[in-house]
Structure formats: C-alpha cells, structure tokens
Amino acid sequence: MVNKKATTAAEKLSLFAITWPIFIEFLLHMLMGNADTLMLSQYSDHSVAAVGLTNQILSIVIVMFGFIATGTSVVIAQAVGAKNFKSAEETIIVSLAANLVFGALLSASLYLFGGVFLTWVQTPPELMSEAKSYLYIVGGFSFIQAVIMTIGASLRSYGFTKDAMNVTIGMNVLNVIGNYLFIFGPFGIPVLGVEGVAISTSVSRMAGLAILLVLLKKRTNISLDLRRAASVPIKHLKNVLRIGLPAAGEHLSYSTSQMVITIFITMIGTQALTAKVYAFNIMMFIFLFSVSIGQGTQIIVGQMIGAKKLDEAYETCLRSLKYSMFITFGMSIIVAFSAKPLLSIFTNNPAILSVGAVLLALTVVLEPGRSFNLVVISSLRAAGDAKFPVYMGVLSMWGMSVPLSYILGISMGFGLIGIFIAFIADEWLRGLLMLRRWKQRGWQENRMAA
C-alpha cells in the first residue's frame, strides 16, 4: 500500500526545500569528522595525522558502500517521478539487503587486514599503533554506515530530507559527548584517545541506524523483512547497479588517486600531512554547498526524467550549477581571508599555519571548478548517463592529477602547494568536460532510447 505522506512529500519538491536539509545533514556528518579532528588536536597532532591517514582508507570503503546508495537514490527518484511507488519500495528492499551483505564483507576485511592496508599507504611507524586502533573499530563496524547510507538515500528520494538531517543531529551530539568522555576523561573515565574517538563514532552510528529504520518504516509503510529481497524482481537490482557501479568507479578512482597523492604527501613529511588534514577539514565546509546542491538537483532531475520533463531537467541542472559556483566562490574568499584564524583552531604550529594559509587561498580557484563535477555529474547520473563521468574522471585523475602532483609537489619541490595546483587543474578539466556533455544533451538521447 502506498503511503500518502510519501506521495505528497515527493510531489512538493523545490531545489531550496530539498537542499537545505541535505546541507544540514552533510554539514553534521562533516562536523562529526571535524569534531574528532578538533578534539584530538587538543590531545596530539600525531593522533590527528593517524586518523587522517586511516580516513583515506575508510573513504574508499564509504565509496564502495555508496555505489548502491547512489543507484538507489536515482532509481527511486525516477520511480517516484513516474508515480510507480511499488517499484520504489521494492528497490529499497533489495538495496538494503545488498548493502548489508556487502558492508559486512568489507567490515570483516578491514578488521582482519587493517594493518596491511595501513602499510600500503606508507603509514609512518610513529602513527601505526593509533591508526590500527581507529581502523579496527570504525572499519569493523562500517557495515552500519552502509545501511545508514541506503536508508538516507531512500528517504531523501521520497522527499523526506529532514528525517535524515534530524537523525544526524542526534548522532553528532552523541559523538561529541563520547569524544569528550574518552579524550578528556572526566569523572574518572579512562582517557582512550584515538580508540575512544573510534568507539564514540561507532556507537553514535548504531543509535542513528536504529532511529532511521523506524523512520523508514513510518514514512514509506513498507515491510522491512529483508528476506523479501529474494522474491523482488531482479530488474530492480540491475537498475541500481546500472547507475551505481559507474558512479562507484568514478568515486573509487578519485579516492584511490587521493590515496596515492597522500603517499606523496607523506614523502614530504608528517607536518605536511597534518597541514593537509587541517586544510581539508576547513575546505569541506566550502564544497559542502556544492555537494548539497548536487544531491538535491539529482533527486529533482531524476524525478523530472521519470516524469519525462526533459527540458525542465536540463534547465534545472544549469541553474543549480550557477548557484553552486556563486556560493562556493564567495565562501572561498571568506575562508582565504580568515585562513590563519581558522587554522589556529586546530594548531599553533607556525609551519603548519603558514602552508595551510596558502592552501586555503588556492581554494578560491579550486572550489568553483569542483562545483561543475558535484552538480553536473549528479544530474548526468540522474538522467541515466553514468558511464561518461567515469571515463573522463579516470582520464583526468590518473592522467593529470596524480602525475602532476608528483611532478610539482615532489620533483620540482613545490610541496603541498604544487599538489594543490594539480588538484585545481584536474577539477577544472573534468568540470568543463561534464558541462559540455550536459549541454550536448547526449543523456537525453540515451534515456529516450532506453
């Protein structure tokens, strides 16, 4: 039976209405990571670097969870746009089951082989113990995040973007409380440092998952018996994978290229790695706007494609891109002029402050270019054109970003600044290629042919 609330929510979407809760939700997810970094920075800069390295591995795992969540979001959005709610519900069931199994396998791999993975990213000996501790705990329970991502994507595609936002608020509150208890040790609680932060992160995710399951049942009125997945038509999983696998390919290419570049940064030194972690923590608040607008646009464009409103979908993407570029450029200017005070929140090391300030100044050029990729690629996926971004992404990331990072950062001795210049070149090249693809409307022909 179709839930009338779900139908109504899906029909009353505007870019602002659907984007602002996504912005708050993603902001809070980032704050959870930043809370770990900020609170650990009061404990040890080495602990920050250890968690930063570990998160390079975990980011790849999240990408692998994300391919089902991404495919789920697009397929549900198109089904909702076509008012085929039975198809949307069956997609949720098969996606939850698939990501739970996949998540459990990856979690087991991280727990069993975490030390090997950390060796692959050239973890310095002085960071290895803390990095292992964090990876074993957060990685071992990362299957929880796989299910959270799938439920969140489902709720957003139905139009219930505030639900995921509210749950994330609760998760952040729990995480900060846990961090405080285990890092500063009030009331005689043992100080556990990195291990305590990992425990806090995992427990807060468990609580969030429990609430999201209740909300999914309430909002969509579906049975959460995952045994039903065996009887759901296989076409739903195929549709999810048709969108999700190429998206995963692009994200995986980005994450692995970033891991290689992180190895280059470790060659520069631990201080350079720490400066990069702090700079990226601040930069996340800038490109969060593009991420949110891109996700909101993906849902709306997907529903328009499902309803066969192709011209409206075309204009929606271009309009969203303009908003994103304008906002990120303005935010980058503000951050560039406030660089040292912002970095001082994390550290008082003059070398880190100096390099970090230059990196944040470069975001004025970097972030508008990133907007193209976050907004236009999301629209291409929503239209079913998921393969082109992968081909161009692999070409640009591995043909430009990685080799240019090594040439400028290591060979020519420009360090982190040279590596950031390589980031800029990569984002703008890919972004302009994506915009050209959208304007050529090849996605429309592919969709209509399908």
pLDDT higher than threshold 90 for residue 329: yes
Check residues 190 and 11 and name the one with the higher pLDDT. 190
Rounded to two decimals, the pTM is 0.73
Q: Which pLDDT belongs to residue 2?
A: 46
Mean pLDDT of 197-201: 87
Give dist(CA 303, CA 161) in Å, integer: 15
Sequence ranges of the domains in the chain: 15-449
Range in 102-116, 155-169, 404-418 the model is least confident about: 155-169
Over 42-109, what HEC string results? CCCHHHHHHHHHHHHHHHHHHHHHHHHHHHHHHHHHHHHHCCCHHHHHHHHHHHHHHHHHHHHHHHHH
Mean pLDDT of 226-232: 72
- The gap from C-alpha 173 to its chain's centroid, in whole angstroms, comes to 20
3-state secondary structure of 185: coil
Residue 348 CB-density burial (10 A; 0-12 exposed, 13-18 middle, 19+ buried)? exposed
The CB density around residue 41, as the number of other CB atoms within 10 Å, is 19
Residue 116 CB-density burial (10 A; 0-12 exposed, 13-18 middle, 19+ buried)? exposed
Check residues 369 and 255 and name the one with the higher pLDDT. 369
Mean pLDDT of all residues belonging to the chain: 83
Q: Which pLDDT belongs to residue 8?
A: 42
